[in-house]
Structure 1
Amino acid sequence: MTGHHVLTWDVTASGGLETAWVEIGHDPAGPAVLRGRGRAAGREPEPYWLSYALETTGADFVTRQLTVRVEDAHGSRELELRRSTAGGWTVDGGARPDLEGALDCDLGLCPLTNTMPVLRHALHREPGEHRFLMAWVSVPDLTVRPSRQTYTHLGRTAAGGAVVRYASEGFAADVEFDADGLVTEYPRLARRIAP
């Protein structure tokens, strides 16, 4: 699985748009990786601009680093979220032991960050249910907190992807992924715009 993708979503939850440039493939040394950078503009809960860069490493699309910059009426903020090879997380250089055990980041209102656990467990291709601890980033304030989430494969789509149920803290949505494991439709959050 390799490829370069340019994706744009109508992000209904923020009243805005997001475009991401994504590379899915393998490092020269062999492990599966995902690299992405994106830009978003939203109107809810207040108008903001956001840019991010995401990099995974090691086997199975595990987050290495997420950097985010937001600009709104209150000024600009930046976040650097890192996971070490030993599994420790830092937020802007400070240790976050409450995130220990998480393999993935989850950037709020960003459909791209649902891809890593789906690819790792091939949920866009085969049955399964998996529970995760995520390093969840709230947008636009960029606070980080642990989030317990469950992903359940519900079935394949005619287009070669799958519908996967996302559930966390009383919220659930049946999210459609394409054959590459990228979100096409996330009810109440975002819908991909055809190129």
Structure 2
Amino acid sequence: MSLAPISVLWRGLDPARPSLEHLHLTPWTRAEGVVVGLEDGQPFTLAYGLEAQPDGHPSCLRLSLRAGRALTLHRDGAGHWTDGAGRPWSELEGCTDVDLQATPLTNTLPIRRLGLEVGGSAVLRAAWIGVPSLDVRAVRQRYTRLAAELYRYENLESGFRAEVQVDGEGLVTLYPEAFERLF
């Protein structure tokens, strides 16, 4: 397992939401990414920073759109969520993870943390953030390890599911119809 900084380039595969992301990852505590994409025919640029606790749970997510909108979420060690001003975000109580729509990075954190054996499955709650709307909602998700580097991801609220390929570090290499790793 490498602790050297990792640089990743992902391409969005959805023709209705094309995107390109450059991620700089300091394993496994900090990530900084920039996503340039289209949503409803309008371009957006999203910069984000994600900090994680040593146990792999997210502790802070900062999002900033070039258009001027921003969002910050904090999660303490007890699983309580607040916004950037320190106000409690009660709808997110019980969420262990974040799921940022514009990047497959946020699939890596639970994949790594859960440490599932092949055939194993786990359900969790995540704070799902839409991009570029920055809408936030709690969703239930399931991860099932199908093979050494293959997981089934399911959003239990919407019924969406996909088989996600990862590398030995747990970083997404192919998320069909959503993302592919270019570098």
TM-score, L = length of structure 2: 0.91
Which secondary structure does the structure 2 equivalent of 1:181 belong to?
A: coil
Q: CA deviation at 1:104?
A: 1.1
Matched residue, 2:26: 23
Is there any run of 5+ residues in structure 1 with no aligned partner, and where? 25-32, 157-161
Aligned partner of 2:180 in structure 1 is 191
Contact 1:137 1:144 (C-alpha < 8 Å) held by counterparts: yes
Residue 43 of structure 2 is matched in structure 1 by 47
Q: Does 1:98 align with 2:91?
A: yes
Q: Does 1:164 align with 2:151?
A: yes
TM-aligned CA deviation for residue 126 of structure 1: 4.0
Report the equivalent of 2:59.
Answer: 64
Structure with the bigger percentage of strand: 1
RMSD: 1.4
In the alignment, what sits opposite 1:28? none
Give, as a single letter, the amino acid of the residue that structure 2 aligns with 1:55.
Answer: E
Of 114, 117, 128, 2:107 maps to 114
* Mapped partners of 1:55, 1:81: distance in 2: 11
CA distance in 1, matches of 2:35, 2:92: 26
TM-score by length of 1: 0.85
By how many angstroms is 1:121 displaced? Answer: 1.5
Aligned 8 A contact 1:99 1:145 in 2: yes
Identical counterparts, % of pairs: 36
Counterpart residue identity of residue 32, structure 2: R
Alpha-carbon distance, 1:12 to partner: 2.0
Q: Distance in 1 between matches of 2:54 and 2:134?
A: 26
Distance 2:63 2:103 in 1: 12
Distance in 2 between the 1:20 and 1:50 partners?
12
User: How many residues are aligned here?
Assistant: 176
Query: Out of 131, 142, 150, which is 2:134 matched to?
Result: 142
Residue matched to 2:169: 180
1:73-100 deviations in Å (ceiling 9; x for gaps): xx31011010012211012333111211
Segments of structure 2 that go 5 or more residues without pairing to the other structure are none
Letter in 2 for 1:90: T
Q: Distance in 2 between matches of 1:183 and 1:120?
A: 15
